[in-house]
Amino acid sequence: MFKFLNKKECPQRSPKTWTKKSVPNVQIEKTEKEVKVLDLTNDIIVHKKIDGTEFLQFRKLLEFPNVKHCYTLRKNHINVQIKGQDKTDLIDSYKKIAKALEIDYHNIIKPHQTHTDRVEIVNRPEEVWDEVDGMITNQRNIFLCTTSADCTSLFFYDDKKKVVGDVHSGWKGTLQQIGKKAVEKMKKEFDCHPEDIICCIGPCIQKCHFEVEEDVMKLFEKEFTYTGRIQEIIERGRKVEEKQKYNIDTTLINKLILQEAGLVPENIMDSGICTVCHSDLFHSYRVDKEQSGRNGAFIGMIL
C-alpha cells in the first residue's frame, strides 16, 4: 500500500558517526558494564549499548542523575509488546532493559494504550491502566513505559517538582493534543510551572514518511490551521494512481502545542530520528504492518 522513500531521499538529519571520545557533553555512567556509543548519536541523543541491549538516551535528561530513561531499539530481540503470543519475550525485554538501566523490572508500569487523550497519575507500579495513553508520577522507583511503532513518544520531566511523564502520541493522540493535556495535568496535580518542564520527543515516523490521503489530511488541516503554520505541517506529496498524497509533520505539531502549553523552546528536545528511515533499528508499523513489534519509552526517578 505504501511506497517508502529511499534513505537517500529522506531529508532528516543524517546520523553522524561519533567515537566515544568525541561525543560532546555526554556523561557516560561509570559502571563495570561495557558501554558503547553507537551511530545514531547526535547532538540531542546518545545511542548506547550495554550488555548487548541497545537504546537511546536524551543528553538533556542525562543531566539529572535521579532520572532513569531510555528509548529502546529492536536489537537484541527487544520488543516490548508482542501480540498474540505469551508474555515470555515481553518479560525478557523488560528484564534486559531493567538490567541495562539498573532498575527493578517489577517496578515498570505499562498501560494498555488505545490512541486516547487520557493521561493518568500513577502511584504504584502494580496499578493496571486500560485505555490510557499517558502517565505521570511524582513517586520514586516507578518506571513508566509507553510503547510504539512509529507513533511519537513524549518524555516529560520537571526537576523542580520532581515529576516525570510518559506519553504515547500517535497521529490520533496528536490530533487530540495529548501532549498539551499531559502538561495541563502536571500543572493541575503537581503545581508544575510549564517553563520548568522538559519534553523530549522520541524517534517516530517523520514527515518524510508519514504519508496520508485527503481524509486524514483534512483532519489535521481542521485542527491546526489556527497555528498559522499549516503550510509547514502539511506538504502536498506524490500522486499515486491519480490519488494525491500528503505528508504531515506531527513532530512540528507536538512542538507547537507544547509551546502553546507554556514550555520554552529550549526545553523541547527532538531526537530528529525517523523510525521508518531506520526500520532496521526500530520496530515500524508502516514497514512491518501487523507483524510489527514495539519500541519502548521508559522514564522514572530513583531519587
Whole-angstrom CA distances from 122 to 115, 118, 163, 274 are 19, 13, 11, 30
**C-alpha angle 118/137/160, rounded to 5°?**
120
Whole-angstrom CA distances from 7 to 162, 199, 273, 293, 298 are 40, 27, 12, 21, 28
**Contact residue for Zn ion among 90, 151, 268, 277 (CB under 5 A):** 277
**Which region among 101-109, 203-211, 221-229, 260-268 touches Zn ion (by CB under 5 A)?**
203-211
**Contact residue for Zn ion among 274, 281, 299, 301 (CB under 5 A):** 274
- Smallest gap from residue 296 Cβ to Zn ion (A): 20
* 287 near Zn ion (CB under 5 A): no
**Which region among 27-35, 122-130, 152-160, 268-276 touches Zn ion (by CB under 5 A)?**
268-276
- Smallest gap from residue 151 Cβ to Zn ion (A): 14
- Beta carbons of 181 and 233 less than 8 angstroms apart: no
Query: What's the rounded Cα separation, in Å, for the pair 207 and 185?
Result: 28
Q: Mask: binding to Zn ion, 213-252, rule CB under 5 A, as x and -?
A: ----------------------------------------
* 209 near Zn ion (CB under 5 A): yes
**Which region among 117-125, 152-160, 166-174, 277-285 touches Zn ion (by CB under 5 A)?**
277-285
* Residue count, binding to Zn ion (CB under 5 A): 7
* 208 near Zn ion (CB under 5 A): yes
- Beta carbons of 199 and 146 less than 8 angstroms apart: no
Contacts of Zn ion in 168-197 (CB under 5 A): none
Packing angle, helices 178-190 and 250-260, rounded to 10: 30
**Which region among 7-15, 43-51, 120-128, 215-223 touches Zn ion (by CB under 5 A)?**
7-15
Packing angle, helices 250-260 and 214-224, rounded to 10: 20
Query: What's the rounded Cα separation, in Å, for the pair 209 and 248?
Result: 9
**Contact residue for Zn ion among 234, 248, 276, 281 (CB under 5 A):** 276
Residue 27, all three cell numbers: 556523561
Residue numbers at the binding site for Zn ion (CB under 5 A): 10, 206, 208-209, 274, 276-277
